[in-house]
Amino acid sequence: MEKIGFIGVGIMGKPMALNLIKAGYPVTVFDMDTKRMGEVVSAGAEAGGSSKDVAQGNDIIITMLPDSADVQKAVLGDNGVAEGIRSGAILIDMSSIAPLVSKEVSKILAEKGATMLDAPVSGGEPKAIEGTLAIMVGGPKEAFDKVQGILSVMGSSVTLVGEIGSGNTTKLANQIIVALNIAAVSEAMVLATKAGVDPEKVFQAIRGGLAGSTVLDAKMPLILSGNFKPGFRIELHIKDLKNALETAHELGVPVPLASQIMEIMQALKVDGKNKDDHGGIVQFYELLAKTKVRN
């Protein structure tokens, strides 16, 4: 089995790395947080000393980091992947970053004889734990074919969507749809609650119809219990929407609904809720309507 280097074992990266270990892959991990790294090492991974160290010892390197700047630092910075990567190696960046940054990093790695795929994911922590993420991939088909089996350990849906940067463009589209779905669920359920109708019964009544969705099924139980412990933090969704808005504006694409939900999330951030799960968008509507959607 291929040896895999894994950089970034946070909320998403940790279960993804653990699934690779369970599948029998030799995994070397690195994270700036030594405690998090130690948890994966205790499950069977080897500890890497730096991103460069991980790249030197593996032909497949996966990065799962919060934002574009983090990827640039881990790959292009001091003791980064680019300093240690071998010719012929493949970097799979599974972070959600700006498509332009994916293209820039890929170009630098190509000068060293390495290939990059951008492969952001959707599904949050629960699906990362289950190994059922949706993975959208951009890059050369030859490289994709080599790592498709590895990606399939972490996701139930693995799709090559185009050239480098296409994965993150697809993720931006995904994040607009998810955010607006959560907002729609929140708006509707606050209306039902204030009208005196049990929101749980509304949920059960509509989930099998046209209004039913994966978002509704995933987020409504959290809304009903008031559990906004993050699977995907509002602050990270703000980052994704920022990338979506910037990309859309560069391309001349109006995105009025994405702009509106961005402002709702910014209001929640100001209110100190930026580390809540994005299901916590409901709190914006609850505050305006002076009612709470709870069991």
In sequence order, what are the residues at sequence separation of 6 or more whose Cβ sits closer than 8 angstroms to the Cβ of residue 58? 3, 4, 5, 28, 89
- Scored b (16 or more CB within 10 A) or e, 140-171 reads beebbebbeebbebbbeebebbeebbbbbbbb
Q: Which of 14, 127, 171, 219 is catalytic?
A: 171
Return the amino acid letter for 132: T
Structure token pair of residue 123: 């599904």
Structure token pair of residue 269: 């951030």
CB 224 within 8 A of CB 203: yes
Number of Cβ within a 10 Å radius of residue 50: 18
Determine whether 171 is an active site residue: yes
Residues annotated as catalytic are 171
